Amino acid sequence: MSTAELRVARDEFQRFLLEYRFGLQEVETKIAILRDEFQYMHDYNPIEHVSSRVKSPDSIVEKVARKGIEPGFDAIRERITDIAGIRITTSFTADAYRLFDLLTAQDDITVLRVKDYIAEPKPNGYKSLHAIVEVPVFLSTGPVSVPVEVQFRTIAMDFWASLEHKIYYKFERQVPAELLGELKDAADSAAVLDARMERLHRELHGSGGRPPVSSRILTV
């Protein structure tokens, strides 16, 4: 491939990723508005932290190869739905569900898939509410629909997931069985802490929780 062809390929990839950056900004703005409204109307902020990212070209290429996806933008757009991702950390489990409801009730948000790992944790203890939503982005060339992965989890869930990630990275995913057992115990302890703190919060302030969203398989 010539230098000119490499530049064209690079520019096309950057343009492709730009749509995901804009989609992410749309969802981030919606979350910021909900946070500020809660603070103003209820003197309460259900969101502790928000982080976001767009996958790097290297990460996308690696996933394309791992999943055997045809290396074209249309195939990547269809098969990989977590290129843009946002994580919302809340104080309490009820807040995670409440924010999910408020975000997905908006007219321009389309829910593609949901997996409720809070109601049904993974065998290793991982808990989080995952949703793939689609949001319109209005470009000079016209509107495009962009998928964004949104994760909702409590502080305790997020702390456990961060520790688990570091351990798997350190052991190159070959984690000793005894350490896996300790991780599961830690996840159970985090769940107990979440339940206790939520109960205290309700006793102090009162709140209406909600039942878990319906669980559907999330394929990413």
Distance, CA of 152 to CA of 210 (rounded, Å): 14
Catalytic residue among 48, 134, 149, 178: 149
Q: Which tokens go with 181?
A: 């057992």
Sign of CA dihedral 204, 207, 210, 212: negative
Counting other chains too, the contacts that 126-131 makes at CB distance below 8 Å and 24 or more residues apart are: 126/160, 126/161, 126/164, 126/187, 127/153, 127/157, 127/160, 127/187, 127/190, 127/191, 128/152, 128/153, 128/157, 128/161, 129/96, 129/97, 129/100, 129/153, 129/213, 130/218, 131/100, 131/104
Q: Identify whether 62 is a catalytic site residue.
A: no
Distance, CA of 30 to CA of 55 (rounded, Å): 21
Enzyme catalytic residues = 149
